Amino acid sequence: MDARKATTAELQTVHSADYVALIQGISSKSRGRQRLVQKRYDSIYFGPGSSESALLAAGSVIEVATQVAEGKLAAGACVVRPPGHHAEADEARGFCLFNNVAVAAHILAHTKVPYLCFMKIIR
């Protein structure tokens, strides 16, 4: 399966709009601007491709989780960087830019997929 980028709408289910915009634009900023943002988040390193990598990581987790929940895959695992589990709603932490699992879980919990999962369990 190919990686896909998480959409702004998907990311904003867990993250603030301002934070999503900041991270989405970080790779296009000058190196000096990246350093200023990096100082704000002391456990994060930003470089060319940082936001693109974070978008692909989050999108891939969402896609695999959705396909497992829909029964298209029996199981799934994502080995992605940045990992995402430390990120907060409006703050990068611990090398994480977006909270990939929280975004995927929120999307699954607020779509028809929980119903499909429930139906698979009771059959």
**Cα→Cα distances 53→4, 41, 98, 119, Å:** 10, 17, 10, 35
Q: pLDDT, tens digit, for every residue of 110-119?
A: 886 665 555 4
Going by pLDDT thresholds of 50, 70 and 90, the confidence category of residue 123 is: very low
Looking at the predicted structure, is the pLDDT value of residue 60 above 60?
yes
Looking at the predicted structure, is the pLDDT value of residue 98 above 60?
yes
Tell me which of 15, 85, 86, 110 is the catalytic residue: 86
**Does residue 86 have an active-site annotation?**
yes
φ, ψ (nearest 5 deg) of residue 58: -65, -45
Distance between the two ends of the chain, CA-based, in angstroms? 28
**What does pTM read for this prediction?**
0.82
Q: What is the mean pLDDT of residues 68-92?
A: 86
Sort 28 into a burial class: Cβ within 10 Å, 0-12 / 13-18 / 19+.
exposed
